[in-house]
Amino acid sequence: MGKILRVIGIVLILLGGFATIYAFVCRARASGEVECRLLTKERLITGVYKSYGLKDCLVPLWLAKTVFKNNTNGRITNLKFRYKLGEYADWSSSDTHPAVDPTQTVVDLYHPILSSACAKLTSSAPARLQMECEYTDPCGDKQQIQETKDIKLLGRHEFIFSDMTAEERTGAFQDEDTLSPLLAAWVSKEDHPVARFASMANRRAGGLGASTDDESCQKVMRELYEIMRLIDIRYQHPQAMADRQMSYDLKLVQSLQYPRDTIQKKSGTCIDLAILYAAMLNSVNIKPYLVSMDNHCFPVGQSPSGRFIAVEATGVGGGPGRSMNFDQAVEAGMKTLAQVNRNGRFTLIDVRDCWMRGVSNPELPELPPDILEKWGIVQLVEGSGPTVRPPVREPVDTTPPPTASLTGRWAVTITAPNGATSQGQFEVNHQGNQVTIVASFAYQMQGPDGLAHQCTEQYTFAGTLAGANLTAQCNNAVWTLDGHQVPPQGLPMRLTAVVAAGGRSMRGQMSNAMGAVVTVQAQR
């Protein structure tokens, strides 16, 4: 028995020696090093803190990105990453990559699950981001890499329109406006003072159901606007902007108010007024939109028939003689909407769609049920008596509607922000105000192998034609690469266009869920 134990001991010693020799030889033969880079966003928008943890949010909101490349001559295994953001997010669960072969690169995105403490920040604050990377090298040894970077957390009212770096921007408007769909987080979905304020306007319209027909919708929209004039809400030009022609600068941090704040203060910038009006539209069941354009923002309501009614919300007030009535505000809004439809320098924000796709309202402090009385709002509204106005003049879309059916085949040119163009076709089926479009494109693309590959893309859009304004969405697409079907990317896609009089041409834009936007021109 003792002899057997001695033999086993000798074997174990030999095995240990073999392992030592193997490790020595492995290290002697090893060459190259790993490359690990931590990239971060400079600023975090705390007003949308709930959206950062969603990997499929409408606007991709990763906070950090680690790029790990295996430059060694052996396989790396069990690669893990985890992150922590100061007191605002605990250590994340580890993302594990089983194996990384030589020359391979892994990109790990950090979507932080943030605490509600973010939404309580009244001004910007610093936070330290920590990243830990752990892996087993080709020789079987565990290795660890740690890195930290400082992040600025914006205050709950602060907003930026783009987080693209100067190197990433091409000069296109959309590069300056990538984050504007996040404005939907400031449009209160359910807030008692806002809902009550909107219901007071609805009562002044006779308690009409705004979603039943266009006439009722128009009357309710009128009262929503007029009640803002009634309590003397005023447009306040940002003091930081010396140029009175500019409502804000896309490149600067903006201070936004929630609708309740604008009601209380009775003043706001163009964005604040647009956000308040959009929240009131939603409260009375009118589908709200925001239009973000160069240095301006305005709200749009969609009538039951699908018609867009744009309102210049800054017309509610601005001192004696500078207030617009509702008809004038709609005329100005429709004129601006037609203008941006022509030049393509705008983003149409479907507020409800943004809510459904992860852009959530932050928690706001609870207010007492009689807060509108305390602010003096009820007294102003109820003491004013019935509204006396001239006869209603229905707003007219400034672009003439097409005079013929759009059904048929259209030649299409799409232009990317970098100027690259691609040709395709639309197969349009137009019945009433319903439009179906099958968009097809075929092109060659050079792959990583250096060879040219044949690609096709086909999208099926369904939407409506309201006047000259065409709006459609695609949830289904078919892509092929060299004849083999591949998964489509970026769905859903959205098409907005203005159809020229006569229905022979249209111009607009297509955008996908990842924020990419191209200009579209089509001709029959």
What's the pLDDT tens digit per position in 347-371?
999 999 999 999 989 988 999 999 9
The per-residue pLDDT for range 366-396, each reduced to its tens digit, is: 999 999 999 999 988 887 554 444 444 444 4
pLDDT for residue 31: 78
Whether the pLDDT of residue 321 is over 70: the answer is no
- Nearest Cα neighbor of 126 from 155, 97, 150 is 150
Q: Give the pLDDT band (50/70/90) at residue 489.
A: confident
Picking from 16, 31, 15, 21, the residue whose alpha carbon sits closest to that of residue 138 is: 31
Dump pLDDT digits (tens) for 153-208: 999 999 999 888 777 777 778 788 889 999 999 999 989 999 999 999 999 888 87
Measured between alpha carbons, how far is 224 from 496 in angstroms, rounded to an integer?
27
Task: Please state, for a pLDDT cut of 90, what percent of the chain lies above it.
Answer: 50
258 to 224, 271, 278, 464: CA distances (angstroms): 17, 10, 11, 32
b/e for 340-370, b at 16 or more Cβ within 10 A?
bbeebbbbbbbbebbbebbbbbbeeeeeeee
Is the pLDDT assigned to residue 10 strictly greater than 80? no
Looking at the chain, how many residues does it have?
524
Give the pLDDT score at 452. Answer: 77
Q: Specify the pTM.
A: 0.67
Residue from 507, 174, 511, 512 nearest 341 by CA: 507
Q: Which tokens in the block code for residue 137?
A: 């090298």
Cβ–Cβ under 8 Å, residues 314 and 247: yes
How high does pLDDT run on average in the chain?
84
Could you count the other beta carbons within 10 Å of the beta carbon of residue 143?
Answer: 13
Q: CA–CA separation, 391 vs 279, rounded Å?
A: 27
**Residue 9, pLDDT above cutoff 90:** no
Strand (E) positions, 94-212?
95-100, 105-110, 125-136, 142-153, 158-159
Band the pLDDT of 399: cuts 50, 70, 90: very low
pLDDT for residue 251: 77
Could you report the per-residue pLDDT of 257-289, keeping only the tens digit for each? Answer: 999 999 999 999 999 999 999 999 999 999 999
Is residue 13 over pLDDT 90? no
Residue 202 dihedral angles phi and psi, to the nearest 5°:
-65, -40
What average pLDDT score do residues 421-427 get?
Answer: 90
Residue 52 burial (10 A CB sphere; 0-12, 13-18, 19+): buried
The pLDDT of residue 105 is 95
Average of per-residue pLDDT across 502-514:
82
Considering only residues 494 and 310, tell me which one the structure prediction assigns the higher pLDDT: 310
| Cα 357 versus chain centre, distance | 9
What pLDDT does 245 receive? Answer: 54
Q: Residue 292 in contact with residue 336, Cβ under 8 Å? A: no
Question: What's residue 151's pLDDT?
Answer: 94
Site of tokens 């647009």: 274
State the amino acid at position 218 in one-letter form: Q
**Domains of the chain with CATH codes:** 29-156 (2.60.40.2550), 173-382 (no CATH), 408-523 (2.40.128.120)
The span from the CA of 109 to the CA of 54, in Å, is 11
Tell me the two tokens of residue 218.
């128009």
- Retrieve residue 282's tokens: 């939603």
**Residue 239 identity (one-letter amino acid):** Q
User: pLDDT digits over 77-130, tens only?
Assistant: 999 999 999 999 999 998 889 999 999 999 999 999 999 888 889 899 999 999
Q: Is the dihedral of CA 119, 122, 123, 125 positive or negative?
A: negative
CA–chain centroid gap for 208, Å, is 33
Q: Which residues pair with 133 in a beta bridge?
A: 81, 145
pLDDT exceeds 50 at position 230: yes
